[in-house]
Amino acid sequence: MKHRRGLTVLLTTLLVLGSFGGWWNDRWAVLRSVRVPQTRTATLFLPGTHGAWLSLRSMVTSLDRPHVGTFALTARVSWNGHVHWHQRRRVAANNPLVPVIFADNTHPHRQARQLTTVLTQLHRRYGVTRVNLVGHSSGGTIAYDYLADHAPAPVTVRRIAMVGADFPGRTRLRDHYPQLQILNLAGVIGRTANDSEVPVKTVTPLRHLVAGHVGRYQFATISGPVWDTQHSLLHENPALDVRLIRYLYPPS
């Protein structure tokens, strides 16, 4: 009887794991058919407060596939702003993907200044002249603070995608970025008006902060069940990844 019970438990476990594996495989299948133009424009990924590599891993590695992007570099920024580069692949016309990991990950203003160093070195060391920025949570605030600080690095920011970001205490942009497009995304769980941490009403003020200073601004919500739209799970959502990569690398 004991052996039969053990066999039942084993079979049940295998069935559950198999079902989960099938669900997970179907969940990520949406990325297999994606094809976007290959360019030298680098996309930098900026994590939110207390964010590190695990905050970005799923998004970066899911986009690291043929005809989409190439996980080329990692930039690790020390507390004093020194940048340590780790090169994984050649930086070429392959949509290079660059996660940026900040040791000091709780001060967006300071991180924005450190981002200037990252972008300057990216240009000097790897010849990158055009970049996109993807910021989750306060990573979006970092991107905004970089623009508000006169975007001094010798690169052109073409597109910014902000995911679940809010902008407390920020003032309107002063400089003009006519070439810049911004996509501002907010998570919405079910019929709520928030992603469990960031209400939509704190995401939408970005429109007024950038009005008249950028080439194009778009706002959209990402609605769905909690496992797709909860604040910390937004960057684990493959449908969001597809939307981002098509926005960042549109047909030429």
Q: Is residue 9 part of a domain?
A: no
Structural domain containing residue 123: 32-248
Pair of tokens at residue 5: 């019970």
Per-residue confidence at 171, pLDDT binned at 50, 70, 90? very high
Pair of tokens at residue 56: 């970005």
The mean pLDDT of 15-38, rounded to a whole number, is: 63
Look at residue 102 and give its three-state secondary structure: strand
Which pLDDT tens digit goes with each residue over 127-140?
999 999 999 999 99
**CATH number of the domain where residue 179 is located:** 3.40.50.1820
Which pLDDT tens digit goes with each residue over 213-248?
999 999 999 899 998 899 988 888 888 999 999 999
Q: Is residue 194 part of a domain?
A: yes
Question: What is the value of pTM for the model shown?
Answer: 0.89
Q: Is residue 179 part of a domain?
A: yes
Q: Is residue 4 part of a domain?
A: no
Q: Is residue 148 part of a domain?
A: yes
Per-residue confidence at 8, pLDDT binned at 50, 70, 90? very low
Which residue in 116, 117, 73 sits closest to 94, CA to CA? 73
pLDDT over threshold 90, residue 165: yes
- 3-state SS, one letter per residue, for 37-97: CCCCCEEEEECCCCCCHHHHHHHHHHHEECCCEEECEEEEECCCCCEEEEECCCCCCCCEE
Per-residue model confidence (pLDDT) at position 7: 47
Q: Is residue 16 part of a domain?
A: no
Per-residue model confidence (pLDDT) at position 12: 44
Task: Give, as one character, the DSSP assignment of residue 141.
Answer: H
Q: Is residue 76 part of a domain?
A: yes
Report the number of distinct structural domains present in the chain: 1
Per-residue confidence at 27, pLDDT binned at 50, 70, 90? low
pLDDT over threshold 70, residue 24: no
